[in-house]
Amino acid sequence: MQRFFALVSRAALAAACVALVSVGAAEALDYPTRQPHIIVGYPPGGSTDICARLFADWLGRRLGQQFIVENRPGAGNNLATDAVTKAAPDGYTLILVNPANAINASLYKHLNFNFLRDIDPVAGFIRVPNVMEVHPSVPAKTVAEFIAYVKANPDKVNVASSGNGTSIHLSGELFKMMTGTKMTHVPYKGSAPMLTDMLGGQVQVTFDNLPSSIGHIKAGKLRALAVTTAKRSEELPDVPTVGETVPGFEASAFFGFGVPHGTPKEIVDLLNKEINLALNDPTMLAKLKDLGGTPIPGTPADFGKLVADETAKWEKVVHAANLSID
């Protein structure tokens, strides 16, 4: 009899566990029942913010709940990342993943998180070149002329970035390292304030993400000297690559979404599916092309590998340039 009751108890426990899993899955499939938040580590107006709002609109229309973009600039994107790692893993807090998340892992000595461990990948959606651009007051019209100009004026040219640890910052450091030039780094809290000073001539050169600068370039307010990718950009076909003058130079920015570690797989898969559908939508593809980007569809694992590969790549640059932030 005791054996009978033990078997019944085990069966009841197993049934209860199955029921709990089923309830969790059902709750995940009901997602979202309230407004999710997309956390962006930079102020409004830059590339990360532009991309976040584009996909917030898409996801909101597809899933029936408004996705709120929340800007939390500071500490080179780390304030936003730290907040997301501490958020509940329920699918209602997403992070706009960008190159700083790969770079900061080796750039900052003391972080309260490990990005690859604490953030689960959802999906990548776009890869874009950075563009080496100068204020029109700079006399150089080509990369070679710019190198000569800087070498004739060491430490007198200000190279701006959207913050320490961004791909814009590291692209400039890679350029200095590979060309032997000396420039003064001026970090800003995002692309928008950086571009304000670029347009005003307070800083002379930057390696901005193409989406936030392409309008100023086409309007003639900034002069594009080169793009940082291995191939020329379709949006700026007459602009050469940096590598055409500096062999081996290559850098690009990537964007995607992540969630706190432990977020239900059903929610991750749903978000991944919807983001990949966006990358097949003609209207969304046209908008991404206008930003100068190339779509990067794939699984959560695909995006996780991309982030891991970029983390390893930029670690080499950080160490070679002897960069470190406490």
Q: Which residues contact 115 (CB under 8 A, 6 or more apart)?
A: 81, 101, 102, 104, 105, 307, 311
**What CATH homologous superfamily does 28-128+253-320 map to?**
Bordetella uptake gene, domain 1 (3.40.190.150)
Query: What confidence tens digit (pLDDT) does each residue in 10-55 have?
Result: 544 444 444 444 344 444 579 999 999 999 999 898 888 999 999 9
Task: Quickly state the pLDDT bin for 190 (edges 50, 70, 90).
Answer: confident
pLDDT of residue 284: 95
Strands in the chain per DSSP E? 37-40, 68-71, 93-97, 119-134, 158-161, 184-187, 205-209, 223-227, 252-260, 294-295
CATH class of the structural domain 129-244: alpha beta
Between CA 121 and CA 232 the distance in angstroms is: 29
Contact of 100 with 269, CB cutoff 8 Å: no
CB neighbourhood size of 147 (10 A)? 17
CA atoms of 87 and 82, how far apart (whole Å): 9
Q: In this structure, are residues 207 and 317 in contact, taking their beta carbons and an 8 Å threshold?
A: no
* Ranges of each domain in the chain: 28-128+253-320, 129-244
Instruction: Please classify residue 21 by burial: count the beta carbons closer than 10 Å to its beta carbon, then call 0-12 exposed, 13-18 middle and 19+ buried.
Output: exposed
At 282-296, the pLDDT tens digits run 999 999 888 878 899
pLDDT tens per residue, range 109-168 = 999 999 999 999 999 999 988 999 999 999 999 999 999 999 999 999 999 998 887 889
Helix 47-63, helix 210-218: angle, nearest 10: 110
Look at residue 28 in the predicted model and tell me its pLDDT.
55
Query: Strand 223-227 and strand 205-209: pairing?
Result: unpaired
Same-fold call for 28-128+253-320 versus 129-244? yes
